[in-house]
Structure 1
Amino acid sequence: MTTFGEINEPSSRTAWEDWDEVLYTENCTDLRLEKEVEVPKQIDTFIILEGKYLYDCVRAHHELDLVNASPEVGLRIFKTKKLNNYVCMIRDYNLIQSSEIVELLKKYINMSIDVIGILTKPLVDYQVSERITNDYVIRCLSASKPTRDLDKTFPHLEQPNIISGICAGVLCWREVTDKPAVVIVCYMEHPEEQIILELNNLLEKFKVISQVEKAHRDNLLNSNLYI
């Protein structure tokens, strides 16, 4: 039993769980970007693509120029060829390192007029009272200041749903610094075989991919590996 402002330690060793002594920093390394690259004094939109689904959506296109990377966490930063937008792609990472990764990106975050985060989560994680009949659900969280020109607005993410990780950290930082930001969350049922047009249209708008009509996903379910 604890009260606000008070910490009560267990009186017996048996009250500790097995994982209480695990040092989570054992497998973590000091993160840094590969190159010392000057960050532009102004970026129109900084886009964060978090997750394997988004990584696979973008990798087949050639609209991005690699600027920097952090191989320890599989993070890469690109500039779009046609607009003054920057894109951060990260496929998988240790959630405990979220704060460190946000620190790596802070210069880009601070120099951007707008920040848009996009992440995907399993549909089973979406908590809602009514029955879900679609294969995916798209929701958003935004800072107090709205972003400029999103063509499509998505419903606000309902409680008790929450987000964590890099996008959540970036959104919090933009809110603290009184700057616009939005995070778009896509809950999906079959990420290995789905093409979400709303997300692809958004990526095309900011010139992350070329044309939605050419979107193609290489996946195991569509292959003849087991035939």
Structure 2
Amino acid sequence: MTTFGEINEPSSRTAWEDWDDVLCSENYVDLHLEKTVEAPKQIDTFIILEGRYLYDCIRAHHELDLVNACSEVNLRLYRTRKMNNYVCTIRDYNLILSSEIVELLKPYINISTDVIAILTKPLVEYQVSELVTKDYVIRSLSTSKQSPNTLDINFTHLEQPNIITGVSAGVICWREITDKPAVALVCYIEHPEELQIQELFNFLEKFKVIPHVEKTQHNNLLNSNLYI
């Protein structure tokens, strides 16, 4: 007796996926930017800062002007004051809405010469054969087409089987499909509430997102008056 070719139903709910009982219409959010602002004709570099850590990095000290926002997904769109760059910050959003968020950003992504996405992930999610002894690890993932500009991004390529998800992944995939350059920087962090990563601050300063790093006082739990 063989079961080859037969359809075997799952014997228990443990074999079901979490989304099997979820209707597509549930929790649907109609995303839109708060202001009707026309995208510029050209952007040098479009920078995506994904996650609470990066949001906190620029919250108190930045050189940006707010252009637009989408409160449903905690998205803010800024223009740098000293360069023709745009910055998008996004945090605490539903991953299911990633495709819709990418659609919101497409008018800006499509006309940008370069796109850089920076996101943070827990260090425990970093899968590598050797032992990690640092408090953080930064890896890069780029599209097939390289930028003609000198972005000076020299981080080690993200190793398999590590992957990225969310808005950053969607934007990088879209740029790959449209044969345009883009790069994602993935920062795996051990203690994001206590860590100050100088390499990221230097990077943000280079693109005029924040002031000079030596003049910036970074806010975290270590230099606050909050005691737990």
**TM-score w.r.t. length of structure 1:** 0.91
SS of the aligned residue for 1:192 comes to: coil
**What residue is the counterpart of 1:17 in the other structure?**
16
| Alpha-carbon spacing, 1:216–1:14, altered in 2? closer, same or farther (3 Å) | same
- SS of the aligned residue for 1:46 comes to strand
Residue in structure 2 matched with residue 116 of structure 1 by the alignment: 116
The runs of 5 or more residues in structure 2 that have no matched partner are none
CA 113–23 in structure 1, closer or farther in 2 if over 3 Å, else same: same
2:39 corresponds to 1:44? no
Q: Kindly state the Cα deviation for residue 18 of structure 1 after the two structures are TM-superposed.
A: 7.5
Deviates more, 1:57-66 or 1:80-89: 57-66
Matched, 1:140 2:140: yes
Shift, 1:10, TM fit: 4.8
2:31 counterpart residue number: 31
Q: Call closer, same or farther: CA 1:50–1:42 in 2, change over 3 Å.
A: same
Q: What percentage of residue pairs aligned between the two structures are identical? A: 69
RMSD, matched Cα: 2.0
Q: Check conservation: 1:193, 1:222, Cα contact below 8 A.
A: no
Larger mean CA deviation between 149-158 and 203-212 belongs to 149-158
Q: Is the contact between residue 55 and residue 90 of structure 1 (CA under 8 Å) also seen in structure 2?
A: yes
Judged with a 3 Å threshold, the aligned counterparts in structure 2 of structure 1 residues 25 and 57 are, in CA distance, closer, same or farther, namely farther
> Residue in 1 aligned with 2:183?
182
* Number of equivalent positions: 221
Aligned AA (2:192):
P
Q: Which residue of 2 aligns with 1:209?
A: 210
Which blocks of at least 5 consecutive residues in structure 1 are unaligned? 1-5
CA distance in 1 between counterparts of 2:69 and 2:126 reads 32
What is the letter of the counterpart of residue 186 of structure 1? C
Q: Which residue of 1 aligns with 2:65?
A: 65
Return the offset for 1:217.
3.2
Q: Which residue of 2 aligns with 1:3?
A: none
Contact 1:57-1:215 within 8 A present in 2 as well: no
Distance in 1, matches of 2:155 and 2:37, equals 35
Amino acid at match of 2:80: T
Note closer, same or farther for the CA distance 1:135–1:42 as it changes in structure 2 (3 Å cut): same
Contact 1:57 1:216 in 2 (8 A): no
Residues 193 and 217 of structure 1 are in contact (CA less than 8 Å); yes or no, is this contact kept in structure 2? no
Structure-2 residue corresponding to 1:172: 173
Aligned to 1:137, the other structure's residue is in SS state strand
Q: Distance in 2 between matches of 1:161 and 1:13?
A: 32
Q: Assess if the C-alpha contact under 8 Å between 2:49 and 2:55 holds in 1.
A: yes
User: Aligned residue for 1:198?
Assistant: 199
**Matched residue SS, 2:66:** strand
* One-letter identity of the residue aligned with 2:187: C
Deviations 1:53-75 (A, max 9, x none): 10000111241000011010010
Q: Post-superposition shift, 1:163?
A: 0.3
* Structure 1 residue 13: Cα displacement: 7.3
TM-superposition CA deviations, 1:173-213 (whole Å, max 9, x none):
00010000000000011111111111111101110001111
Question: How far apart, CA to CA, are the structure 2 residues paired with 1:54 and 1:207?
Answer: 15
Q: Structure 2 length normalisation: TM-score?
A: 0.90
How far apart are 1:146 and its partner, in Å? 1.7
Aligned counterpart, 1:223: 224
Letter of the 2:226 counterpart: L
**Cross-structure match for 2:162:** 161
